[in-house]
Structure 1
């Protein structure tokens, strides 16, 4: 059994042979991940930050600086 939520998510789509990914399922999978940040100073939901990071990587970003830009 995979230890990561992301591995389960990827396996689900790989086994189904789907080429399109439902954004709602992506967000639901990311919402299941624990937020490692301390509560103080948190302004945005962790899953939303992860969605932005995934989109930036898909757009070609290769570093945190590029993701932020």
Structure 2
């Protein structure tokens, strides 16, 4: 298991990214994918890495509601 800092951004269709709600937590998890599968409320749309090498997983409902998880080791 690895320890990650996880930034969770909840984005709604009215406010967009500018008005997203952000939460930062630390967790010891098996993998980012397993964490989102267990704790996410929407299906995964995309999994990428940002310029810093952090894992970024975006989930959504297809109607504008999205949750973006950024995992930093």
TM-score, with structure 2 as normaliser = 0.23
Report 1 or 2 for greater relative contact order, CA contacts < 8 Å, sequence distance ≥ 6. 2
Higher strand share: 2
TM-score, with structure 1 as normaliser = 0.23
